[in-house]
Amino acid sequence: MTTERIRIALQKSGRMADNSMELLIKCGLHVDRSREELFCRIKELPVDLLLIRDDDIPGFVSDGVCDLGIVGENVFAERRAGAKEAFGASILERLNFSHCRLSIAVPENGPISSVADLANKTIATSYPNLLQAFLNENNIQAHKLEMSGSVEVAPRLRIADAICDIVASGATLMANNLRELTTVLKSEALLIRSSAMLSPEKEAVIRRLLARMRGAVMAEDSKYIMLNAPRSAVEKIAKLLPGCDSPTILDLNRGDMVAIHAACKEAVFWETVEKLQAAGATGILVVPIEKMTA
């Protein structure tokens, strides 16, 4: 009997593609491919990968060509906002990488200082549907200039008064003498799935894959902390441990000293370590967590 295989749409190249592949590796899945391949098989689970343009991923999943897809929320939301019929894809999981934001930006020291000032102005964008939804929500009439790329140069070319585009670090805006006016959408990588009915066999594979992804995402910022401290300092130290409900306390053969072990579900910064030291902790060891389950 042939095992039914799940098909996942991934971006072919770029940062999102690299991050998506890294996530699959953390899930114990390995892909051997060359840059020219568009279709790949995974051995560890009955999963195939279709490597395509990011703009095509929501459509491939919505149409049932692929069962799942990993795509930026900005791309997914734009496609869904522009759908003329019921959109056949939904968000299954937020993956906590490829963070960015869709923002409206305007020239530094220009006449636009508030959202209301966008009225009757021309806004260049590659996200016309999300921009229009934002304008509607704010009861603003403005002109949209659709561009497929290099949106940030539109104000300098005097073909637009503002732009609506993706911002990550903000360096591109600074290079073009632009500043953010407001955020339209906060975006991250999403795991999306088709609304089409799947067989129990495929659903079982998706559950296994989703459990692995959740474990990998949960472990991303998580750290395991081990330290020694006076018993009298345990309560204070426990409150300093980020994202930890109840640490493990172990007696040491050293008077009133104990060992504290904790799985922290939030990032552990140097400031946290310094606060732990100030509270009486010694021998602090912080190590990464490779896998984690809820």
**Beta carbons of 100 and 72 less than 8 angstroms apart:** yes
What are the backbone dihedrals phi and psi of residue 67, each rounded to the nearest 5 degrees, phi first? -80, -35
- Pick the closest to residue 3 from 61, 44, 35, 52 (CA basis): 44
Angle at 30 between CA 28 and CA 32, to 5 degrees: 175
Please count the CA atoms within 13 angstroms of the CA of 96 that sit on its side-chain side.
Answer: 12
- Rounded to whole angstroms, the Cα distance separating 75 from 178 reads 23
Q: Determine the CATH number of domain 222-288.
A: 3.30.70.120
Q: In the chain, where are the structural domains located?
A: 6-96+189-219, 100-187, 222-288
Helices (H), 197-287: 200-220, 234-240, 270-278
Residue 30: partners with Cβ closer than 8 Å, 6 or more residues away: 24, 42, 43, 44
Over residues 32-68, the pLDDT tens digits come to 765 567 888 898 899 999 999 999 999 999 999 999 9
Alpha helices in 156-233 (DSSP H): 171-175, 200-220
Q: How far is CA 16 from CA 10, 92, 94, 266, in A?
A: 9, 17, 14, 23
Whole-number Å distance between alpha carbons of 201 and 171 = 47
Q: How many residues does the chain have?
A: 294
Its CATH class, for the domain covering 100-187, is alpha beta
Task: Name the CATH architecture for the domain at 6-96+189-219.
Answer: 3-Layer(aba) Sandwich (3.40)
Decide the pairing of beta strands 39-42 and 89-94: unpaired
Question: For each of the chain's 294 residues, which pLDDT tens digit applies?
Answer: 456 899 999 999 889 999 999 999 999 888 876 556 788 889 889 999 999 999 999 999 999 999 999 999 999 999 999 888 889 999 999 999 999 999 999 999 899 999 999 999 999 999 999 999 999 999 999 999 999 888 999 999 999 999 999 999 889 999 999 999 999 999 999 999 999 999 999 999 999 999 999 988 888 878 889 999 999 999 999 989 888 778 999 998 878 899 999 988 777 888 989 999 999 999 999 998 877 776
Using CA atoms, how far residue 156 sits from 106, 129, 169, 222, in Å, is 10, 24, 20, 44
**Domains 6-96+189-219 and 222-288 belong to one CATH topology:** no
Adjacent-strand bridge partners of 250: 259
